[in-house]
Amino acid sequence: MPSIKPTRMELLLVRKKLKLAEKGYKLLKQKRDVLILEFFQVLKDIKKLRELITEKFVRAQGSLYNAEAIEGELNIERIALGLSSGTSIKMSSRSIMGVEIPVVEEIKTEYQWSGYFGQTLELDYAVKQYRELFPDLIKLAEKQLILKRLAEEIKKTKRRVNSLEYITIPKLGEVKNIITFKLEELERENFIRLKKIKKTKT
């Protein structure tokens, strides 16, 4: 520890720093707690979305297998290459405790397609189901990106909280105590000296 100046000015400065560090610690702790709550909420949403997507995917895959059995795999691949996406996504962002996260505002998916002469109903149904699955996949990607950004910010905030709690605040507290003790010691010495001077004069 560098040499400490036992002055009242230094004590005031250390007290100010300590107060600021304690306030920062409290705010960062609150931020960390809010981010953790948000993290677990997003995790819950991801779990629900994955369950929903799995159900829809199994149904869509079943329809596609049936269509392949009738149309033939090569024919299905040729048709798939000719399909237009017919989708659009509108994105924005918002802030959670200073963390910028993506927001999917709107997903437009056209379920209809022109098809071709003699196509099977099973193929129509498979195309419709896969297109219905698309918005859920985009929402899942959005949630996973939010989760990643929250996890990074929680990690960063935890490091800062721990640094303040275990290093900065105890160190400033120790400096404050040392200065206080030295000032009290100086006051006692001055008091004894003044007493001796008074006694000598008497």
In the predicted model, what is the mean pLDDT of the chain? 87
The confidence score (pLDDT) of residue 180 equals: 92
Helices (H), the chain: 8-71, 73-82, 121-163, 169-201
Range of weakest confidence among 56-60, 66-70, 74-78, 103-107: 74-78
Residue 163 has pLDDT above 90, yes or no: yes
Determine, yes or no, domain membership for 107.
yes
Share of the chain above pLDDT 90, in %: 51
Residue 117 has pLDDT above 70, yes or no: no
Determine, yes or no, domain membership for 103.
yes
- Provide the domain limits for residue 161: 8-189
Check residue 164 and report its DSSP letter: I
Determine, yes or no, domain membership for 201.
no
Q: What is the mean pLDDT of residues 17-46?
A: 96
Using CA atoms, how far apart are residues 46 and 48, in angstroms rounded to an integer? Answer: 5
Whole-model pTM: value is 0.77
Report how many domains make up the chain: 1
Determine, yes or no, domain membership for 1.
no
For residue 87, the surrounding DSSP H or E stretch is: strand 87-96
Q: Domain with 95 in it: what CATH number?
A: 1.10.287.3240
In this prediction, residue 23 has a pLDDT band, given cuts at 50, 70 and 90, of: very high
The confidence score (pLDDT) of residue 82 equals: 61
Residue 157 has pLDDT above 60, yes or no: yes
Residue 88 has pLDDT above 60, yes or no: yes
